């Protein structure tokens, strides 16, 4: 009886202890101290100062250039400058030549367009001459009597209208007629068929036009056929 009670009493504290929270002691931190003084950090140099030092070191490390080397470099530079000027001059000349070629090509194209109908227009001038000749040879007194000569008058007006319409068509394409009557004779625009002394007329002037002259875009298409006043003195 006594033994069982003692056993129960002795068992109780162990049970309570097993149920209690376990306590852990904190870990110890060890700090070591030194008797030596801490060395100071080296001062930081600015970037500009560092570059100056590096440039100075590079200059000191570079080999010295002799006067002969300097003269050679000057000679080389002079030759390069002369070659550069030569190439620049050749380049400018090439540009000028190209521009001249382009201008000439454009002029040729424009002239081709302007004078494309030159041959065709020149062939039509013979027709205009025939119509003018037909009109010129109709007596004016016959045209005055429109009742008696109605058929002739109608024919005359029809031929004149045909000639006028043909001339307007040529003018639309740049062909224009000119009459050098009473003007100084110009061999560039007129062809002298004959010369004769005419009293009251200025020598060297045109006094008769057999065929009118024609030009296309300012260029003589066909010179006028004229008679020129002859100077009686022979000058």
Q: Over the stretch 127-167, which tens digit does the pLDDT of each residue have?
A: 999 999 899 888 888 888 888 888 899 999 999 999 999 99
Lookup: tokens for 174: 């740049």
Q: Report, as an integer, the average pLDDT of 102-128.
A: 86
Q: What is the CA radius of gyration of the chain?
A: 60
Lookup: tokens for 34: 């030194």
Name the 3-class secondary structure at 146.
Answer: coil
Closest C-alpha to 175, from 226, 220, 224, 130? 220
Band of pLDDT at residue 47, cut at 50, 70 and 90: low
Question: pLDDT per residue over 204-233, tens digit each?
Answer: 999 999 999 999 988 899 999 999 999 877
Band of pLDDT at residue 4, cut at 50, 70 and 90: very low
With left for phi above 0 and alpha for psi between -120 and 50, is residue 130 left, alpha or beta?
alpha
Q: Report, as an integer, the average pLDDT of 58-84.
A: 80
Distance (Å, rounded) from C-alpha 176 to C-alpha 168? 9
Sheet holding 175-178, edge to edge: 175-178, 213-216, 219-222
pLDDT value, residue 181: 93
Q: Report, as an integer, the average pLDDT of 43-65.
A: 60
Is the pLDDT higher at 47 or at 117?
Answer: 117
Q: For the range 39-47, what are the long-range contacts, defined as Cβ-Cβ under 8 Å and sequence gap of 24 or more?
A: none
DSSP 205: B
Residue 43's DSSP bridge partners are: none
pTM of the model: 0.53
Band of pLDDT at residue 19, cut at 50, 70 and 90: very low
Q: Report, as an integer, the average pLDDT of 46-54.
A: 61
């Amino acid at each position: 009886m006594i033994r069982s009670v003692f056993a129960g009493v002795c068992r109780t504290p162990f049970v309570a202890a097993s149920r209690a929270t376990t306590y852990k002691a904190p870990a110890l931190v060890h700090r070591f101290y030194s008797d030596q003084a801490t060395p100071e950090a080296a001062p930081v140099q600015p970037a500009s100062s560092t570059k100056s030092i590096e440039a100075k070191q590079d200059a000191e490390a570079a080999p010295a250039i002799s006067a002969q080397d300097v003269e050679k470099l000057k000679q080389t530079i002079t030759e390069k400058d002369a070659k550069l000027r030569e190439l620049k001059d050749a380049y400018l000349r090439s540009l000028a030549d190209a521009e001249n070629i382009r201008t000439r090509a454009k002029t040729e194209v424009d002239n081709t367009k302007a004078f494309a109908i030159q041959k065709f227009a020149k062939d039509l001038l013979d027709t205009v001459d025939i119509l003018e000749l037909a009109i010129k040879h109709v007596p004016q007194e016959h045209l005055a009597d429109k009742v008696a000569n109605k058929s002739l008058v109608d024919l005359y007006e029809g031929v004149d209208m045909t000639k006028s319409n043909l001339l307007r068509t040529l003018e639309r394409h740049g062909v224009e007629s000119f009459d050098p009557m009473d003007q100084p004779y110009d061999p560039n625009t007129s062809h002298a068929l004959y010369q004769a002394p005419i009293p009251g007329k200025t020598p060297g002037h045109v006094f008769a036009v057999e065929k009118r002259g024609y030009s296309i875009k300012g260029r003589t298409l066909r010179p006028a056929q004229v008679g020129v006043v002859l100077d009686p003195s022979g000058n």
